[in-house]
Structure 1
């Protein structure tokens, strides 16, 4: 499963995963429990798988016109994720990245002409890095024992922008260390990203050309997966600052002055994403308060925004499949949801898309 865990230090997060400045009480598990009958039909319609033919695929994002997606996938015969685009009208995957190195977190520019992504293809020991990973995977096949999943904070990872018409690749970050998890603001002028350039993974924002870099967070632990709000005032992200390996959802103001926790529970909450037009945030979460390995499902929160804060509101559970459901994103018009799931015949992670019904719409229809 891609990105279930990202190690925030040389030590990997336990798969038990992956400064509150407000008096707001964040949400806890159990505000809406799953019933014996699946709840998914309330919110998800016309569910369909949109990727196949890859060892695994995930973390997909829509083009501005909603007609294409960009995502990462592990292709046959290569050990690391690469970046691909694909038309939603029966198109085949087209390679965006160089075909070498670890890649992640691709995102379209607002005009849909270029693609942002992170890559380690400039690793001076790239051949050895590939051979070492191939050898590890072969050993796992022979032994039948798989490594506990963790995300590598590859120190050679930088953020690049590819012009899809010319193929030109422009490097936007050059600092030593991991620079990745980038996404554009809605107006296309800024990029929020994660970097461990100061020795600890924190959030940064920069102009679209890589200039004017500003650090937003500096708490101990991992801060990552940032997305700028539709109005450009806030950045939503995940952090394990409260307890290592247990991620919670936060927002920070675009100037870095205010931070607010939106979740506070014994679990892992990650991959938050804004709805483009309505006051909702969706994310993936799992309850770790009980023994055993919990399942990852999608959760939706309604929030209230004022001039200086965001108040967390009611939470709904969106999926309750026995498969893992993670990395949810809304389409540009807000009518569809795409996410990564293992609800496939072979249990590999692939991308799924569904028509999305909001809780208030569902309640209205039921009256």
Structure 2
């Protein structure tokens, strides 16, 4: 999945603790994700982002609040159309006199709409991760009532081996060896009112039809994938058969560092298939809408400036994934490019980038065209226009909504924390932006390390 970034922050391989900390973690939380960028002084006042983003994004709503969460981020929709639930990671506001948790917890929350169907916020979030554990990369199963995520299940060790770092900056994220891929299901004893009758309700009913139950309870997390070292950044294929994830191998020697590679777990055959094992960090993978490609980020050049790739999957005669046919690089610049995500059309990706400077990560879009071999020829466009960090963008399955982690608010007197935002994606808006861009790769003004 993804992680956060920002100048002076910490990136983390799949979760985003932006802002005050790292799709990541701060200080103590850096074991998990990156902190977010620090907005430039006065930048929030300088940009009317609602007006600047009109025609592309409309009806902006902040769905997690600072009153409840110190920070929140890396959120994903369920697979209904329109979506009814989101899953996200967050650090809750502690009781008075206590310190905030050092790590992210995982939450699910129902979306709340007004009479016209516009999202206005969420219902009460429900924590689904064990207390004290470090968690990242939540994902709804597409057909069953389950939530998948990475978790250490208990507090991770304070002695963690170094992970990925962007040069001498604070961009860094750790790979907790305790991190496993787990799934949770709603407790079977729950009941739900439905057309005047009571029926046993699984998480499938609640998360796939949006029924509300109080209290909403879940069973304990079950380990789905457990291998030596870090396993996370996970998501299901559209049919639920495959789990795409990042696995960290041990450093080869004292001069090497842990290296994340990409695998797919075939739940039908119960086998792990390596996909990308190139030297350098590879992570944050997602299946394309048609299930034939994956996207991901990579430090392939070893210069700590992440670039984006897509790869065409290889299948055997029985239709099982056996590897990749070919790999294509779709960004090639002097910026950190983070957390790519497919638009449902499959025609472009959105991602976070430092192209505007390490103090102001923004969401960009890049076209996907397998016929174009040179990344510099692919058209790109800036999507968000805020003075604070905008990262970890995702779409609902129907493409009607974009959700991302941002540092923006209307209170000019306070530095915004990282929180989850949702906006309506104007039909054709991003495609029009990409069409207006030239096919050149312009260096970012502050992207050089």
Give the alignment's TM-score, normalised by structure 2: 0.65
For 2:54, what is the secondary structure of its paired residue?
helix
- Residue in 1 aligned with 2:109? 86
Taking the aligned partners of 1:315 and 1:201, their CA distance within structure 2 comes to 27
**Partner Cα distance (2:302, 2:35) in 1:** 13
Alignment of 1:40-79 (within 5 A): 40-52=53-65, 53-65=68-80, 66-77=83-94, 78-79=101-102
Name 1:137's counterpart in structure 2: none
Give the distance between the partners of 1:249 and 1:188, measured in 2 at CA. 25
1:103 — aligned with what? 135
From 242, 251, 257, the equivalent of 2:310 is 251
* 1:252 shift after superposition: 1.8
Specify every segment of 5 or more residues in structure 1 that has no aligned partner in the other structure, as ranges.
Answer: 18-34, 134-146
What is the rounded CA distance, in whole Å, between the counterparts of 2:179 and 2:226 in structure 1?
Answer: 9
Q: Secondary structure at the match of 1:59?
A: strand
Alignment length, in residue pairs? Answer: 324
Show the counterpart of 2:292. 233
Query: 2:319 aligns to what?
Result: none
Alignment of 1:295-334 (within 5 A): 295-305=360-370, 313-334=378-399
Quote the residue 2:231 is aligned against: 179
Q: C-alpha distance in 1, partners of 2:138/2:186?
A: 13
2:422 is matched with: 353
- The 5-angstrom pairing of residues 22-41 of structure 1 reads 39-41=52-54
Change (3 A) 1:250 1:220: same
**Please, what TM-score do these two structures have when normalized by structure 1?**
0.79
Q: Relative to structure 2, which stretch is displaced further, 58-67 or 92-101?
A: 92-101
Q: Which deviations, in whole Å up to 9, do the C-alpha atoms of 1:111-165 show, x marking residues without a partner? A: 2510000011246xx5x74xx99xxxxxxxxxxxxx9453221111010011124
Q: 1:360 to 1:253 in 2, by over 3 A?
A: closer
CA-to-partner distance for each residue in 1:75-121, whole Å, 9 max, x for gaps?
23322101000111140110111122210000000025100000112
Cα distance in 1 for partners of 2:267, 2:295 equals: 19
Q: Is the 8 A contact 2:3 2:33 kept in 1?
A: no
- Equivalent residue number for residue 159 of structure 1: 181
Q: Distance in 2 between matches of 1:212 and 1:277?
A: 30
Alignment-derived partner of residue 21 in structure 1: none
Pairing 1:117–2:139 present: no
CA apart distance, 1:198: 4.9
2:346 pairs with 1:270 = no
In structure 1, C-alpha distance between the alignment counterparts of 2:337 and 2:302, rounded to whole Å = 12
CA RMSD between the two structures: 3.4
Whichever of the two has the greater Rg, that structure is 2
Looking at structure 1, the residues matched to 134 and 34 of structure 2 have their Cα atoms a distance apart, in angstroms, of 21
CA contact (8 A) 1:161 1:169 kept: yes
> Partner of 1:23 in structure 2?
none
CA contact (8 A) 1:238 1:247 kept: yes
